[in-house]
Structure 1
C-alpha cells in the first residue's frame, strides 16, 4: 500500500473519518448560511469584495497561528526542526489557512455581503 494512489487515498480517508463529527456539522452550517445569504440577497445589493477580503485575512491569521502552534502539538520545538520539517510545517499552515478561508466564507457573506438597502433599478 506504500506510495500508490489507492494507498494514499485510503490513508486520507482513514484520517478524515476520525474528524467526521467536526466536518459534517461545519458543512451543514455552511450550507444553511449560504441558504440564508441567498434568501437575504434576493432584494438587496450583493457585495463580494469585503467578504472575500475578510475571509482571506481570517485564513492568513489561521496560517500564522497554525505555524506557531503545530510544532508544540507534536511535542517538538523549533530547535528540533530541520529543512523538510519547515516545508511540511508551512504546507500544513497553508492547508489550514485555505481550509478555514473556505469554511468561514459563508459567514463572512452573511456579515458583510448584503447591504440593507433595496436594489436600485438602473432605468
Structure 2
C-alpha cells in the first residue's frame, strides 16, 4: 500500500498543495486575521514538513507539537473547517484521487481537538 504522501504527489505535490492552500486562506476574510503578522513562507515550510511526516513521507518535521503550535490562538471549529476545506479543495484541484483527499480529511479531523481552542 502506498503512503498518502505518494498519492499526493510526493514533495512536489505537497509543496504545491500547501502553496495553493495558504494563498486561499490568507485571502479569506474569515481566516486572514489568524495570519496577520505571520511569516507565511516559514509557516508553509513547517506545514510541508508536518504534512509529509503525517502522510507517510520523510520524517523531517521537528517543530512544536500541533497543540503547542496552536495554543492560545482561539481557533474555532468553523476556522478549522475552512482551512481543512481549503487544503482538500487544493488537493482535488491538483488532481489528487478522491480517496486520498478523503484520507487527508480524516487524518486532519483527528487533529481537531489539538487545534481548536474556542
**TM-score normalised according to structure 1 size:** 0.32
Pick the structure with more helix per residue. 1
Q: Name the larger-Rg structure.
A: 1
Pick the structure with more strand per residue. 1
